[in-house]
Amino acid sequence: MEIPLAATLSRAGQDYLGTFKAMATPCEVRVETDDAGLGRRVADAVEAEARRIEAKFSRYRDDSIIGQINSAGGRKTVVDAETAHLLDFAGQCFDLSGGMFDITSGVLRRAWRFDGSDRVPGASDIKPLQKLVGWKKLSWRAPSLTLPAGMEIDLGGLAKEYAVDRALAAARAITAAPVLVNFGGDLAVSGPRTSGTPWHVAIASVDKDDAMAGMLELVGGALATSGDARRFLLKDGVRYSHILNPRTGWPVKDAPRSVTVAAPSCVEAGMVATLAMLQGKRAELFLKREGARAWCIR
Amino acid sequence: MKIRLRVINGALAALVAAAACASCTASGPRPWERDLMARPEMQLVPYPLQTAADEHVYFSKEASSGGRGFAGGGCGCN
Amino acid sequence: MQLKRRKAGRVGRAISAVSATLLIATAASCENSAVAQDFYGLDKAGRDNFGPGIAYTEFDGALLIYQEAGGRVQAIEPTANLAIHGARGQQLTLGAVADAVSGATPNGAVPSDRTQTFVTPLKPQGSSTTVTSASGGSTVIQLPPTPGQLASAALGRQYTTAPNTLPMDKGFRDHRAALTAGWSQPLGWVSEIGGGAGFSREEDYQSITANVRAAKNFNSDNTTISLDLNGEFDSSFPFGGVPTGLTAMNAQFKPVTTRHKTQLGFVLGLTEVMTRNWLMALNYSYDSQKGYQTDPYRVISVVDPTSGEPTSTLYENRPEQRKSQSLFWDNKVAFGPTVTELSYRYFTDNWGISSHTVEASERINLAKAWYIEPNVRFYHQNAANFYRAFLVSNVAFPAYASSDTRLSRFDAITYGAKIGFRVSGRSELYVRADYYTQSGDGHPANAIGQLRNQDLFAGTKAAIVQVGYQWKFH
């Protein structure tokens, strides 16, 4: 499968900056170098990895592995090693979150459309969908996955952070120069900039005026942000975040509007942020208890 | 001989009891705590040819055999 | 702005661990293992290229060199193993072994302060009958004619032992080749079901083995229970025929050419992942052997009750039934860059033998791709109830008697070390050397006459060296 690469390369201060759009998000990679050729190679490698993962795990494509699994109609699908590892990870996160993180909960979006309106579904809309939710209902034993008919899996909650980590690894395989990979706010760095100076990362505000809510200095690891800046419903003064509790079928109550977590990898940061959001009003307590380096906005 | 058999039978009962307990208390590390067990050197027999060579030498030079696997050497060296 | 770092809680640590596992595993399967391992800095083993759900093949080759002190037995044994792992947990294993053994081996007679002579059958016409000292110091002799026997069969092989030395047969030489094959796979609710067979053939012995095995995992795969049933059918066809036990050693060809032995047994195993660092295994085995278990070449001296001089030499005789049990307990603990292994085995049988074996090894992973692993083993066994260092001429012979040191009471210690080098993420080269030494009572209280001045313990001291190579590929 030919992946057409279309990143735009430009000079930004000390860095070469590559930008492209993938996974419905603006993506960028910065590499601190004076070598334009290196900038182009790094941008191409990062974009290639992002598009590969998007094509492979997108639920919108019939030819992706997720598309095949979801259209198997109750029959068994044999998956490759990379998908197997992601499924194992999803299963382990299901266990350690007490069932709150569940990649089978995507079917609930058929009832919930988070378009900023006040159209909140009723119990009769949600009940039939709940029968199709539940990690324990499917059969996963590497390398075969069997989904009962009607159920779907959705790796959207993992794929972007996973893509950030894999894209960074691809960039590091090419160069030892400082690299920052940022896919729509989920980002990771290879290490500090030259002579040990940190990267400066702005945390976006959740309000429409897009002013900065804060600035972080990053010398290593990754950041991930979970939030509802654009996807929410507002009815009778109650804000329904787009994070749904798979056990009830309803949005998590009183979730923070944004959680940003710093961790050694983007996958880890993203999972901590998601689990924090799922705690609703206990998000800050959860983050504090787990010793996460995190920043909540309510 | 009877006494020795009894000692071993006690050990066998302990093995069965340990097995029964192991399955009913659902103990042990959770799946994400199994990272160290995946290291190749943590397998019970990571170097089968080395283990086989040792068992062959000891089978030929001593009166006992087996333990890890079945006793007997498959050779005439004892 | 600084985000405060606090001590990670339980869920936080769990997420950290599963994330690292995911990234290293997927990096390895996408051939970026070096980058991923440096980046995540956690696991330098490069393991998940070859894990469950991934089809791969592993080839192992090794060469063993065994040398006993004092010009005794030496052996060279090349071995090879091929294991083909399927993506769905199936496994096919093929193995091959060859060995060439030669040297001198104690024949079981006691040393004497006089020269001793021993006769054994000679290889028949067609093979070399000219004997030089290179053939082990034996000479061809003419035997007194026996009515009805061919003249050519009236030749024998004679060798002598100098005074005050342990009698050894120096003409000992054997070649062996063996093949094994095995298959295992998951089946329904049974985690693993499989079987195997083996065939081994040497110049005077053949062994056919077969086994079936079933195993079940419980408890999130932390516990495994297994049952292995095994059987063996051996044939002994010693050169010169099978002698009758406790009859005089002679050079005639014996009328019985082949004797058999059958063995049936089982191993019940329990493997348990006790904690994140500690793996434990407990095995109980039971074996029953019926048939010929005597060493057809081994003799026992009959000595004079006063002087202790050997007056005759008889073939040994062992019981035809042997039931044995063993309990084996193995522990492996991972601490940082090290893996410690500690195991204990207790063995007992109805020949009156019981033994204790303790083994310990410590593998230390060093920087880059090296590791060292020193090891030690302690062994103690007591004597079989029919073990006799010698028989006395004025005492009625027991039904069974053997002077084989391997059935006597002794201690043994092995110490050595291994060095390994990971040539790449897929292959490894290792070398190990061990020194094995047996010690026992050479001056038992029942020694008579000149035997009091002899060392009656014929145990071994040997060096064991092995070089091996392991290679995994898709």
pLDDT per residue over C143-191, tens digit each? 666 666 555 556 788 889 999 999 998 877 889 999 999 999 989 889 8
- Report if residue C4 sits inside a domain: no
Give me the amino acid identity at A255. A
How far is residue C232's CA from residue C208's CA, in Å, rounded to a whole number? 6
- Report if residue C370 sits inside a domain: yes
C28 lies in the same domain as C171: no
pLDDT above 70: residue C282: yes
Number of H helices, E strands in chain C: 2, 22
C233 lies in the same domain as C325: yes
Joined together, the tokens standing for residue A86 give 């992601």
pLDDT above 60: residue A19: yes
pLDDT above 50: residue B68: yes
What is the pLDDT averaged over residues A53-60? Answer: 84
C193 lies in the same domain as C153: yes
- Of C465, C470, C471, C385, the C-alpha closest to C431 is C465
Joined together, the tokens standing for residue C73 give 């037995």
What is the pLDDT, as a whole number, of residue C193?
A: 96
pLDDT above 70: residue C35: no
- Report if residue C455 sits inside a domain: yes
What is the pLDDT, as a whole number, of residue C81?
A: 95
C119 lies in the same domain as C26: no
B40 against C303, higher pLDDT? C303
CATH of domain A198-298: 3.10.520.10
Best residue of A76, A86, A96 to probe chain C, by most C CBs closer than 10 Å: A96
C454 against C369, higher pLDDT? C454
What is the pLDDT, as a whole number, of residue A65?
A: 86
The per-residue pLDDT for range C434-451, each reduced to its tens digit, is 999 999 999 999 999 999
Tell me if chain B has a CB within 8 Å of the CB of C435: no
- pLDDT band of residue C455 (cuts 50, 70, 90) is very high
Q: If you compute the radius of gyration of chain C from its CA atoms, what whole number of angstroms results?
A: 27
The per-residue pLDDT for range C384-435, each reduced to its tens digit, is 999 999 999 999 999 999 999 999 999 999 999 999 998 876 789 999 999 9
Provide the mean pLDDT of chain A.
Answer: 84
Is C271 strand, coil or helix? strand
CA-based nearest residue in chain B for residue C383: B63
Dihedral sign, CA of A65, A70, A72, A77?
Answer: positive
- pLDDT band of residue B67 (cuts 50, 70, 90) is confident
The per-residue pLDDT for range C182-233, each reduced to its tens digit, is 999 989 889 899 999 999 999 999 999 999 999 998 887 789 999 999 999 9
Domain edges within chain A? 1-59+157-185, 65-154, 198-298
CA-based nearest residue in chain A for residue B33: A92
Is C339 strand, coil or helix? strand
- Please name the member of C3, C9, C20 whose beta carbon is closest to the beta carbon of A294: C3
What is the pLDDT, as a whole number, of residue A203?
A: 67
Is C335 strand, coil or helix? strand
What is the pLDDT averaged over residues A13-31? Answer: 89
Question: C103 and C68 in contact (C-beta within 8 Å)?
Answer: yes
- Contact assignment for C77 to B19 by CB distance below 8 Å: no
Q: Which of A59-63, A269-273, C263-267 has the lowest mean pLDDT?
A: A59-63
For C86-146, give the DSSP string. Answer: -TTS-EEEEEEEEEEEEEEEE-SPPP-SS-EEEEEE---BTB-----GGGTS-EEEEPPP-
C24 lies in the same domain as C100: no
How far is residue C348's CA from residue C336's CA, in Å, rounded to a whole number? 37
What is the pLDDT, as a whole number, of residue C181?
A: 96
A198-298 matches A65-154 in CATH topology: no
What is the pLDDT, as a whole number, of residue B31?
A: 62
What is the pLDDT averaged over residues A115-138? Answer: 82
- Of A79, A141, B48, A74, the C-alpha closest to C186 is A141
How far is residue A281's CA from residue C86's CA, in Å, rounded to a whole number? 48
Percent pLDDT > 90 in chain C is 67
- Please name the member of A86, A216, A272 whose beta carbon is closest to the beta carbon of C15: A272
- Contact assignment for A84 to C53 by CB distance below 8 Å: yes
**Which chain C residues touch B39 with a CB distance below 8 Å?**
43, 45, 47, 334, 339
- Of C256, C259, C255, C241, the C-alpha closest to C297 is C241
Chain-centroid distance, C-alpha C220: 34
Residue C20 CB neighbours (<10 A): 21
CA-based nearest residue in chain C for residue A219: C2
C31 lies in the same domain as C80: no
Cβ-Cβ contacts under 8 Å for A285 (sequence gap 6 or more): A279
pLDDT above 60: residue C4: no
The per-residue pLDDT for range B4-57, each reduced to its tens digit, is 444 455 555 555 555 544 444 457 786 656 767 777 888 899 999 999 999 999
pLDDT above 90: residue C472: no
Best residue of C4, C13, C15 to probe chain A, by most A CBs closer than 10 Å: C15
Name the DSSP letter for residue C398: P
Half-sphere exposure of C178 (CA within 13 A, CB side): 27
Q: Hunting for tokens 């790449």 — which residue is that?
A: C424
What is the pLDDT, as a whole number, of residue A131?
A: 87
Give me the amino acid identity at A77. T
pLDDT above 80: residue A210: no
CA-based nearest residue in chain B for residue C406: B62
pLDDT above 70: residue A223: yes
- Contact assignment for C460 to B44 by CB distance below 8 Å: no
- pLDDT band of residue C33 (cuts 50, 70, 90) is very low
Joined together, the tokens standing for residue C248 give 């005089």
Provide the mean pLDDT of chain C.
Answer: 86
C66 lies in the same domain as C209: yes
Tell me if chain C has a CB within 8 Å of the CB of B3: no
CA dihedral C49, C51, C52, C55 (to 10 degrees): 50
- Please name the member of C39, C40, C53 whose beta carbon is closest to the beta carbon of A143: C53
Dihedral sign, CA of A5, A10, A11, A12?
Answer: negative
- Report if residue C362 sits inside a domain: yes
What is the pLDDT averaged over residues A70-99? Answer: 89
Question: C88 and C185 in contact (C-beta within 8 Å)?
Answer: yes
Q: Rounded to two decimals, what is the model's pTM?
A: 0.64
CA-based nearest residue in chain C for residue A215: C1
The per-residue pLDDT for range A238-254, each reduced to its tens digit, is 667 777 888 888 888 77
- Report if residue C2 sits inside a domain: no
Q: Which of A56-70, A81-95, B31-45 has the lowest mean pLDDT?
A: B31-45
CA separation, residue A177 to residues A168, A227, C167 (Å) = 12, 31, 75
Joined together, the tokens standing for residue C458 give 């014929």
pLDDT above 70: residue A264: yes
What is the pLDDT, as a whole number, of residue C42?
A: 28
What is the pLDDT, as a whole number, of residue C133?
A: 34
What is the pLDDT, as a whole number, of residue A234?
A: 66
C32 lies in the same domain as C134: no
What is the pLDDT, as a whole number, of residue C462?
A: 97
- Report if residue C351 sits inside a domain: yes
What is the pLDDT, as a whole number, of residue A72?
A: 85
The per-residue pLDDT for range C77-121, each reduced to its tens digit, is 999 999 998 877 889 999 999 999 998 899 999 999 999 999 888
What is the pLDDT, as a whole number, of residue B12?
A: 56
CATH architecture of A1-59+157-185: Roll (3.10)
- Please name the member of C47, C272, C466 whose beta carbon is closest to the beta carbon of B38: C47
Domain count, chain C: 2
Range(s) of the domain holding residue C273: 54-473
The per-residue pLDDT for range C370-383, each reduced to its tens digit, is 999 999 999 999 99
Answer CATH for A65-154 from 2.60.40.420, 1.10.10.10, 3.40.190.10, 1.10.3980.10: 1.10.3980.10
Percent pLDDT > 70 in chain C is 86
Chain-centroid distance, C-alpha C100: 15
C113 lies in the same domain as C229: yes
Tell me if chain B has a CB within 8 Å of the CB of C169: no
C63 lies in the same domain as C17: no
**Which chain C residues touch A291 with a CB distance below 8 Å?**
5-9, 12
Question: C234 and C207 in contact (C-beta within 8 Å)?
Answer: yes
C64 lies in the same domain as C89: yes
Percent pLDDT > 70 in chain A is 88
**Which chain B residues touch A96 with a CB distance below 8 Å?**
30, 32
pLDDT above 70: residue A205: no
**Which chain B residues touch A268 with a CB distance below 8 Å?**
none
CA-based nearest residue in chain B for residue A90: B32
C162 lies in the same domain as C231: yes
How far is residue A247's CA from residue A256's CA, in Å, rounded to a whole number? 19
- Report if residue C301 sits inside a domain: yes
pLDDT above 80: residue A113: no
Joined together, the tokens standing for residue C15 give 């997420």
- Report if residue C220 sits inside a domain: yes
